């Protein structure tokens, strides 16, 4: 079916073909984005106390299992399948199990003899499926930072499936499904056309400032409220147990994020390259912005601040990376770094225990990036450089139309996510329970939820004596013993 | 026999160890400890939230000595551990009823 032809050949019969360079980049970018989830596990894991680091990392890891599975079954179809009407959601049954798309080619542009342009190759649909599933996985994993140290692991696992299905897939459809790419009609936030909800918003969100970061941030806030504060919140010190893990995690996130943003060009060309540079630019100034706030306010620039600034900048440039200039990207980063550094204190003022600042970094950073597009969008951006149209922002004389679209997209996703997540969280909390009991929480969720300890480093002996107790294996059929009989 | 116990700042351990070796003490037991005295804790700031950490890391040094050496060993430790700044620690001496060397079964002063 797929014929290999030179991109400059005029094709008589219009047979879609793939572009190997674009395909290679999208497949590589998908792998980069998957690597962000273990990176997030390290970033979050280092920030919690020793007794719950494994659980924190597992909350990220499990999303690779659950969300990856449901993506293949119905998630892809629900996000990118034929729209059920109004740009609300795709039909989850059309491509159930990826039925009927393995031989499809997306993004192919036919030759136009009248304009004298050659056909341009697309990418195989499975490359698009791969690139989008890793977005769904990390979007869900991001939420877990709000409920560190106290969630039941089974409840979280159920939540990942329900939240992906009822909140993420619809929001991703609104934002990432462009009409005519995978299906004829796309989502109502990305497109502007009759027949879409409100006629469509036409908001710019290149890689997911709304669908991923505002969405995860608002969901984190809702879950933090449903679960309540940790025992001792704002009274006892809850220091990050391993800041070196946090910094490694931030580094992996930054690395993977180039796949996230530049991969969203869905091709290897002018737009992808410009986006790569903008992604770097914003992250640089965001780190500086966060550290300057810390130096002035607290007296010391901290490693946690540097790592957090990096992530805040990446979050904010995610929606904006294709439609702002490199100078615009430096501004987006600086505002996000400084803004998020100030916003992380809000949880103490308002009294909600968003443990690892999903709200302060992802919701606030996502809002900053999404709204700044309304001011900073310009034709002097990677999208403009690629020869595509850009509706310019307020600072470039484009008026308020784009800012209006950005506000609509940002606020709708925020409100939708908060309300839906609160209801889902409450339903899980009232049925199977979302929170461990007080004793389990004090002893640590690593022990109560996973029957493991992260580190065997206690004391100067480095664990050479082993732990007192008895060993039994699963195959011996005896129940596993832990500390019984230790007094002998 | 006496047991001399000192709680000192971790970075003074090398000086204390060298001072004790120079005096002729051939063994000691060292363990990590944490606590506070008049110094209280210190503060750390994470994402703008200031935490007062009460228990400060310390090192406990224990030396078993003959009665006659007890006062001078305490003085040797004092010299090694003292910086003159707050949080230098404490040294105390308590009597010991018996000591046994596990390898040989020797008892009392012979076991030191």
- How high is the pLDDT of residue A237? 82
Residue B91 domain boundaries: 2-111
Beta strands in A145-284 (DSSP E): none
Q: Where are the domains of chain A?
A: 20-103+121-435
Q: Give the whole-angstrom CA distance, residue B112 versus residue B109.
A: 5
Helix (H, G, I), strand (E, B) or coil at A233: coil
- How high is the pLDDT of residue A460? 46
Share of chain B above pLDDT 90, in %: 72
The list of chain A residues with pLDDT below 50 reads 1-3, 5-6, 11, 460-466, 479-488
Listing DSSP states for A30-93 in one string gives HHHHHHHHHHHHHHHHHHS-GGGHHHHHHHHHHHHHHHHHHIIIIIHHHHHS-B-STTS-B-TT
Q: Which of A239, A302, A345 sits opposite B51 (nearest CB)?
A: A239
- Supply the pTM of this predicted model: 0.89
Q: Which of B31, B44, B48 sits opposite A460 (nearest CB)?
A: B31
B81: CATH? 3.30.70.120
How confident is the model over A15-46, as pLDDT tens digits?
999 999 999 999 999 999 999 999 999 999 99
- How high is the pLDDT of residue A2? 46
Q: Which of A294, A304, A460 sits opposite B32 (nearest CB)?
A: A460
Q: What is the ipTM of this complex?
A: 0.77
Listing DSSP states for A348-385 in one string gives HHHT---TT-HIIIIIHHHHHHHHHHHHH--SSSHHHH
User: CA of A347: which chain B residue's CA is closest?
Assistant: B49
**Chain A residues 445-474 with CB within 8 Å of chain B:** 460
- How high is the pLDDT of residue A474? 66
Mean pLDDT of chain A: 92
- How high is the pLDDT of residue A428? 98
Substitution target from B48, B55, B56 for chain A, most A beta carbons within 10 A: B48
- How high is the pLDDT of residue A9? 53
- How high is the pLDDT of residue B49? 87
Which chain A residues have a beta carbon less than 8 Å from that of B53? 237, 239
- How high is the pLDDT of residue A475? 62
- Contact call for B53 and A298, based on CB within 8 A: no
- Contact call for A237 and B52, based on CB within 8 A: yes
Substitution target from B13, B32, B44, B47 for chain A, most A beta carbons within 10 A: B47
**Chain B residues 27-86 with CB within 8 Å of chain A:** 31-32, 44-53
Residue B14 has pLDDT above 70, yes or no: yes
How many domains are there within chain B? Answer: 1
Q: Which of A228, A237, A238 is nearest to A351 (CA)?
A: A228
| Distance in Å, alpha carbon of B54 to nearest chain A alpha carbon | 9
- How high is the pLDDT of residue A14? 81
Superfamily of domain A20-103+121-435: Ammonium transporter AmtB like domains (1.10.3430.10)
- How high is the pLDDT of residue B97? 95
| Distance in Å, alpha carbon of B68 to nearest chain A alpha carbon | 32
């Amino acid at each position: 079916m797929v014929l290999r032809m030179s991109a400059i050949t005029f094709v008589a019969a219009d047979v879609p073909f793939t572009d190997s360079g674009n395909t290679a980049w999208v497949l590589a970018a998908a792998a980069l984005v998957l690597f962000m989830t273990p990176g997030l596990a390290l970033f979050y894991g280092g920030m919690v106390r020793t007794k719950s680091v494994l659980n924190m990392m597992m909350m990220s890891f499990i999303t690779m299992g659950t969300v990856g599975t449901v993506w293949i079954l119905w998630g892809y179809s629900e996000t990118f399948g034929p729209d059920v009407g109004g740009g609300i959601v795709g039909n989850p049954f059309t491509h159930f199990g990826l039925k009927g798309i393995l031989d499809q080619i997306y993004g192919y542009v036919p030759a136009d003899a009248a304009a004298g342009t050659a056909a341009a190759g697309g990418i195989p649909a499975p490359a698009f499926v791969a690139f989008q599933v890793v977005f769904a996985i990390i979007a869900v994993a991001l939420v877990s930072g709000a409920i560190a140290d106290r969630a039941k692991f089974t409840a979280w696992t159920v939540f990942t499936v329900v939240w992906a299905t009822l909140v993420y897939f619809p929001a991703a459809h609104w934002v990432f499904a462009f009409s005519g790419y995978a299906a004829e009609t796309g989502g109502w936030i990305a497109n502007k056309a009759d027949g879409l909800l409100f006629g469509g918003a036409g908001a710019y969100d290149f890689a997911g400032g709304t669908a991923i970061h505002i969405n995860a941030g608002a969901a984190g806030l809702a879950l933090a409220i449903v679960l309540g504060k940790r025992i001792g919140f704002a009274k006892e010190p809850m220091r990050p147990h391993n800041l070196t893990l946090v910094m490694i995690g931030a580094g992996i996130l930054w690395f993977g994020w180039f796949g996230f943003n530049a991969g969203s060009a869905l091709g290897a060309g002018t737009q992808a390259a410009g986006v790569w540079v903008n992604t770097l630019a914003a992250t640089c100034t965001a780190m500086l912005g966060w550290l300057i706030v810390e130096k002035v306010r607290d007296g010391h620039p901290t490693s946690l601040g540097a790592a957090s600034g990096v992530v805040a900048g990446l979050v904010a440039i995610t929606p904006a990376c294709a439609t702002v200039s490199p100078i615009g990207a430096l501004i987006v980063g600086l505002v996000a770094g400084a803004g998020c550094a100030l916003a992380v204190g809000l949880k103490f003022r308002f009294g909600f225990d968003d443990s690892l600042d999903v709200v302060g970094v992802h919701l606030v950073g996502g809002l900053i990036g999404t709204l700044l597009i309304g001011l900073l969008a310009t034709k002097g951006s990677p999208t403009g450089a690629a020869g595509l149209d850009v509706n310019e922002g307020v600072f470039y004389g484009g008026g308020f139309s784009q800012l209006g679209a950005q506000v609509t997209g940002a606020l709708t996703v925020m409100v939708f996510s908060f309300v839906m997540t609160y209801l889902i969280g409450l339903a899980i909390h009232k049925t199977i329970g979302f929170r461990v009991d007080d004793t389990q929480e004090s002893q640590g969720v690593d022990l109560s939820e996973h029957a493991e300890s992260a580190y065997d480093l206690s004391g100067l002996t480095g664990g050479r004596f082993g732990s007192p107790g008895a060993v039994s294996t699963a195959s011996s059929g005896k129940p596993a013993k832990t500390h019984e009989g230790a007094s002998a | 026999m006496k047991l001399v116990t000192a709680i000192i700042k971790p970075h003074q351990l090398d000086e204390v160890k060298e001072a004790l070796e120079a005096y002729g003490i051939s063994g000691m037991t060292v363990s990590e400890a944490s606590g506070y005295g008049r110094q209280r804790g210190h503060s750390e700031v994470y994402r703008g939230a200031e935490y007062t950490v009460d228990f400060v890391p310390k090192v406990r040094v224990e030396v078993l000595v003959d009665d006659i050496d007890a006062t001078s060993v305490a003085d040797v430790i004092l010299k090694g551990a003292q910086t003159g700044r707050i949080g230098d620690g404490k040294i105390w001496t308590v009597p010991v009823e018996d000591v046994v060397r596990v390898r040989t079964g020797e008892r009392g002063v012979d076991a030191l």
